[in-house]
Structures are given as C-alpha cells and as structure tokens.
Chains A and B, each alone.
Chain A
Amino acid sequence: GENVEQHPSTLSVQEGDSAVIKCTYSDSASNYFPWYKQELGKRPQLIIDIRSNVGEKKDQRIAVTLNKTAKHFSLHITETQPEDSAVYFCAAKSSGDKLTFGTGTRLAVRP
C-alpha cells in the first residue's frame, strides 16, 4: 500500500520568513496530493491540492510543487504570519478515495 513520509516534524520560523514542508510517497499510481492544516482541537482543513498532471500550483501565499519522477511534493508558505501556526499534513490518494496521510509538521511562527 501507499506510504507517505513527511518532514520536518516540527518547524519554527520568524514571522515574515518562508516555511517549507516536504513529503515523499511510495505508490507511483497516486494521482492527487492535498495538504491540510489542523489547528488545535479543530478539523483538518484542506488548504491546497495538486493533481499528478501538474507540477506546481499557487494560491496567494501558499504553493505546492510535485516531482512525480522523484515521488515527492512540497508545501511552501511565504510571508508567514502567526495565524499560520498549526499542524500541517500532506496526503496522497491512490486507489478509490483513500487518503494516506503523513505524520504531520507542527509549524510555529514567532511574532
């Protein structure tokens, strides 16, 4: 089955700096890669996603890149703000609607 590895597990950045979170996946059949933000005690919230036929996607301060050959994808957050502090999960979808999640990255943005 699919296996998704995510790193780093924790990340602390100064407000205004950029943050990068990286994930690798094992199943070459995976074709959809969403990123979720989860604040303490709340639901995972879909913030951006990318399909396997696209190499990069951007939405304001957030961007995701995908390298299908290397089987890795990354989340980039620019101009970080304190409200970006949360746990971020990457995921990969292979068969059906099953999402396999990474282990999460706890991002702390220091004011």
Chain B
Amino acid sequence: DAGVTQSPTHLIKTRGQHVTLRCSPISGHKSVSWYQQVLGQGPQFIFQYYEKEERGRGNFPDRFSARQFPNYSSELNVNALLLGDSALYLCASSLGFGAFFGQGTRLTVV
C-alpha cells in the first residue's frame, strides 16, 4: 500500500534557476497540499489543490506555483530561486481530516 511519494528526494540548484517538484498522493486521495519546512521550524503551508482546483494559497511570492493533474498527482514549481528557498518541501495528501506527508524533497540553492 503506497503512501505519498515525492521526487526527487534531493536537489541542488543555482540561484536564479527554476525547479519542479513532483508528488503522487495516496490512492483515492483527491486533495494535495504543499508545505515548506525550513530547518528547525514547523512546515509552512504553500498551496492546496482539490480536484485540480486551487483551494488555498499561503503567504508565498508569485515565484511559487503549482498544479494538479487528472490522476491527482501534483507539481510545485519555483522560479528565480533564491538562497532562502533552500528547505525541505513536503507534499501531503488527504481524504478528509487527516493529512499524510511524503518523505519530502530536500532543495538546496547555492
């Protein structure tokens, strides 16, 4: 029984570049959310998608965007990377109340 899967697990990018992170939710889950977790802090909400529609957006700049596909998988895109974007990016899928996280993508911007 597969949980939430994310790819890639680690990524190193240069300032100014663009990155795409991918997430496959638990089978049957239609809601996908993205969070950013900086070392030593709790996850911060970026986006939520349900049935391919954006249902919520956190306090992040327009450089961050996302989408959800018909199979409920999702992509998070970040343009013009800054050093401060270095973090663990977590995807969570949900069927109702409980949110279950993937292992995350560790993004390092140099």
Contacts and interface: CB of A to CB of B under 8 A. Distances in A.
A98 B43 CA distance: 11
Interface in B65-104: 90, 92, 94, 97-104
A44 B98 contact: no
B42 interface: yes
Nearest to B44: A101
B97 A99 contact: no
Interface stretch (A12-20, A71-79, A89-97): A89-97
A68 interface: no
Interface of B is mostly: strand
A43 B90 contact: yes
B8 interface: no
A100 interface: yes
B50 A97 contact: yes
A93 B90 CA distance: 17
Contact of A96 (B48, B103, B104): B48
B16 interface: no
A46 B48 CA distance: 18
Given A46-B101, A97-B31, 7 more contacts: A34-B99, A43-B102, A44-B101, A46-B98, A49-B98, A97-B94, A104-B41
The 7 A-B pairs at the shortest CB distance, nearest first, are namely A101-B42, A96-B56, A43-B101, A96-B55, A97-B48, A98-B56, A43-B103
